[in-house]
Amino acid sequence: MRMALIVQKFGGSSVADADRIRNVARIITDTYKAGNDVVAVLSAQGDTTDDLIDKAAEINPKASKRELDMLLSTGEQISCSLCAMAIEAIGCPVVSLTGWQAGFHTNSGYGNARIKRVRADRIRTELDKKRIVIVTGFQGINKFDDITTLGRGGSDTSAVAIAATLRADLCQIFTDVDGVYTADPRLVPNAHKLDEITYDEMLELASLGAQVLHNRSVEMAKRYNVNLEVLSSFSGKPGTKVKEVVKTMEKTYISGVAKDKNIARLAVVGLKNSPGIAYKIFSLLAKSKVNVDIILQSIGRGDTKDISFTVSKADREVAQKVLEENKDAIGFDHIDVSDDIAKVSIVGAGMVNNPGVAARMFEALYNAGININMISTSEIKVSVLVNVAEADRAVRVIHDRFYDEIGGEQ
Ligand code: ASP
Ligand code: MG
């Protein structure tokens, strides 16, 4: 095998106990012994991060974000040092580094910091000494030299940032599933693993609630053209490759069906039917940093219209509040809020050249007696809003309807 630089990231379940850490050490050292340079990025063991959050709450439920980050960053330090010890036991040269030793510079946003740059000199020096480098995921330092964390699930993003900085040949994300599936296998028994998927499809699936990769990691991988692979640390089987263009794209035009329950719908009812109303509503929401997803405007009775839109559940209260506060300026009758909805989407990069995908999706829902509340489409996806109680069934009937063509050859 040609010598390559490979970044390998291992999630919390892959390093949960001593045996699993030994297993990870074996994967890393096998890659190293095959002649590659290896940088491994680790998450905290199992539920460690949750446990640390609980510990903090016990002492002070209002602890500052700075101190929380100081605490949470320790989880990764434990898994990395233990893994380095396991590699020492195997007899390979290794060094573990914290986020700051590895050169992760972030903005000052404690708890959800963004990576500004990775000054990877230390990592490079260690690689030149032919050492395996183990780096703590999920963390860096800000301009005050304080420890910051990148937000839950942020280790994926740490790994991709190192891969981008070092121009690694491959960034492997090891987890407890075999790869990216055409639908949640717990929900859809005949869902199957995808061999390949494009960055854009992966971004859609991630943001639609198929929680395989941290969204920011996929965005970064796309921007820096990092070859990603999602695979299992347990099975030893090939995983799913995430890249710019997949070779089967011409044939495969549907990659997956995803569900997102984390949304709420607001309907602003009885708006005047005059220009500027949508502008007023959505600029107010934008100013309050509310992210709006699907928007639907409909003609109401007489001279009025309604505008409905969806937001994440976390943004619902703020959205409602800012609109109510500006009720007179906007001019509406009332706001109708609904929480018991879910978004179900079909995603595929080849969809744009295949008319009729939406029609067949709607047909499948119609045959199952599932009512559609709202629809939105883009070049690579069609999303519908359905009642939350019917969401799982909707995923199944849509997946069944496209079974023969979803995810390419099986
Ligand atoms: N340990 C952190 C978390 O649980 C980061 C990660 O797992 O990626 O969110
Ligand atoms: Mg974790």
Average pLDDT over every residue of 299-321: 91
* Residue 8 CB neighbours (<10 A): 27
Residues 357/358/361/365 CA torsion (nearest 10 deg): -170
Instruction: With respect to residue 371, please indicate whether it lies within any of the assigned structural domains.
Output: no
Across all residues in the chain, what is the average pLDDT? 93
Nearest to 212 by CA among 238, 187, 240, 191: 240
> Is 118 in contact with 104 (CB distance < 8 Å)?
yes
Give me the pLDDT at residue 2, please. Answer: 52
- 193 in a domain, yes or no? no
User: Domain for residue 82, yes or no?
Assistant: yes
In a domain, 120, yes or no: yes
Nearest to 159 by CA among 246, 224, 232, 75: 224
Instruction: Please report the atom of ligand 1 found closest to the CA of residue 11.
Output: 7
pLDDT at 287: 95
> Could you tell which of 152, 175, 176, 218 is best to mutate to test the pocket of ligand 1, judged by most ligand atoms within 8 Å of the CB?
152
Task: Residue 13: give its domain's CATH number.
Answer: 3.40.1160.10
Per-residue tokens: 97: 């580094």
Question: What per-residue confidence (pLDDT) applies to 352?
Answer: 75
Tell me which residue of 340, 318, 313 sits closest to 209, measured CA to CA: 313
- With 80 as the cut, is the pLDDT of residue 117 above it? yes
pLDDT 10s digits, 136-168: 999 999 999 999 999 999 999 999 999 999 999
Q: How many A from CA of 47 to the centre of ligand 2?
A: 7
Does 225 map to a domain? no
pLDDT of residue 347: 94
pLDDT digits (tens, 9 = 90+) for 28-53: 999 999 999 999 999 999 999 999 99
User: Given the CA of residue 44, which atom of ligand 1 is nearest to it?
Assistant: 1
pLDDT of residue 180: 92
Closest CA to ligand 1's atom 5: 153
- pLDDT confidence band for 349 (50 / 70 / 90): confident
Number of domains in the chain: 1
Q: Which residue range(s) make up the domain with 148?
A: 5-176
Q: Give the amino acid at 52.
A: L
Nearest alpha carbon, ligand 1 atom 9: 152
Whether residue 130 is contained in a domain is answered as yes
Q: How confident is the model at residue 408 (pLDDT cuts 50, 70, 90)?
A: low
Name residue 346's beta-bridge partners. 257, 382
Write out pLDDT tens, residues 197-220.
Answer: 999 999 988 777 677 888 899 999
Q: Is the pLDDT of residue 332 over 50?
A: yes
Q: CA–CA separation, 113 vs 136, rounded Å?
A: 15
Residues linked to residue 253 through DSSP beta bridges, in sequence order: none
Q: Is 43 in the pocket of ligand 1 (CB under 6 A)?
A: yes
Average pLDDT in the 189-196 region? 91
| β-strand partners of 104 | 118
User: Is residue 96 situated within a structural domain?
Assistant: yes
pLDDT tens, position by position, 233-290: 999 899 999 998 776 655 567 899 999 999 999 999 999 888 899 999 999 999 999 9
- Tell me what pLDDT residue 247 has: 66
Q: Separation of 138 CA from ligand 1 center, angstroms?
A: 6
